[in-house]
Chain A
Amino acid sequence: MYKTTKYFPQDLMSDLIIENPLMLNLLSRFAMPLGVGQKTIRQCCEENNVDTDTFLQIVTLTIDPSEENVVNTALHFPSVLRFLENSHKYFAEFRLPFIKANLEKALKEQPLDINKFILAYFDEYLVEVKKHFDYEERKVFPYITALINNTATDKYKISTFSRHHDHIEIKLMELKNIIIKYYNLKTSYELSDVLGSIFITANDLQRHNELENHLLVPTVSEIEHKKR
């Protein structure tokens, strides 16, 4: 069955980005530069060694991460893995520390002495996220690369990963919900802003997770099946 995406290789990259602000993040995770001018999606991808079909598949899933949006294309795994690793870097090294700093600033204005518990919660979360990402980068991604290159030796299977793959965004969403529901905090520009960032990032993390579950796992397991 062939299902079309909303965007095509011959569409302008600028249209895609301007119509979907989420694509800015996507571009940076594919390490593709701005200044796209009148270039098509295919041109931009080829200039940056990104597989166009794989790029468009991830675009589609970023816009709507439902399982039915997984088109059965042959994924170009180096592109996918580079994208996922860059996403990890974005969350762990940039976005979450940024939220923590802003949370600290926003809570400083508050008269309550519970702030250190909120920050401790956040720190604990950060450790979990890093562990989650680290496992994928140390175990799962190298396994996939080896599988593609026919050099997989150990008995690892992608199903082991999917069984243990937690919803990494839940604890972050819960923090925001707890603050909104139970903490009688004074609203401020800083607080609203950081809560807004948490919303966006939790959704972004969820999308990231769903991409791994709906795209990576089934495609890899199909390859495993063929090779056995």
Chain B
Amino acid sequence: MNRKIRIAIAEPSLIIRTGLMSVLKRMTSLPMDIYELLELSNIELLLIKYKPDILIINPVYLGNATLETLKHNHKLANTKYVALQSSMLNIQLLKQYDRIINITFSAEQIKEILSKLVFTKEQTDSFDLSAREKDIVVAITEGLTNKEIATKLHISINTVMTHRKNISAKLNIHSPAGLILYAIANKLIEV
């Protein structure tokens, strides 16, 4: 995901809301746009217009029945709902949320929760390599350079580089040595 993550915060306490915002803004490795919801009555509008990737909301602020309604009305928006927990809450209430952020969490924990929410889906969508990508993996394990791979497969060097980038992203393997292990395990090459 190259664009910024859109995050909306719905929390009535000024101190907690601005505190959370300043924690989020310091996470420079996770670029985000942050939207503050100041009036609860605007929440529907927020979901329609701003289409946040993640809505961080105090469950008490929202109340019980409405989260289900919100989720139902905005099924297509792919918004994830994170409960911002600052007090003891009913576990049934919390179960409706995708994740929980407790106000005692460290910045590291919050960052992990947010990045998992936005990145997991894309990875599982495109996990298998295409036939062409498999050819490239085999060529890499043979120790060929990008130029040699391009000649062998009759494609441009740029295309080879794009394939390599996609392979790394799909498999989360970034070294030729790692690709060799992958290729052996998946019987792309004989040993």
Contacts and interface: CB of A to CB of B under 8 A. Distances in A.
> Does A associate with B in a complex?
yes
Interface of A: 64-69, 113-114, 117-118, 120-121, 124-125, 170-171, 174-175, 177-178, 182-184
A168 B32 CA distance: 27
A114 B23 CA distance: 46
B175 A178 contact: no
Contacts of B173: 174, 177-178
A66 B108 contact: yes
Contacts of B75: none
B181 interface: yes
Interface residues of B, number: 20
A80 to B, nearest CB: 22
Interface in B88-144: 106-108, 111
A174 B185 CA distance: 14
Contact of B26 (A68, A121, A170): A68
Contact of B191 (A68, A69, A114, A125): A114
A178 B108 contact: no
B107 A174 contact: no
26 contacts: A64-B108, A66-B108, A66-B111, A67-B26, A67-B28, A68-B107, A114-B181, A114-B185, A117-B180, A117-B184, A118-B181, A120-B177, A121-B178, A121-B180, A121-B181, A125-B177, A170-B174, A171-B178, A174-B172, A174-B174, A174-B178, A175-B181, A177-B173, A178-B173, A178-B178, A182-B181
Q: What 7 A-B pairs have minimum CB-CB distances, sorted nearest first?
A: A182-B185, A66-B107, A64-B106, A174-B178, A178-B181, A121-B177, A114-B184
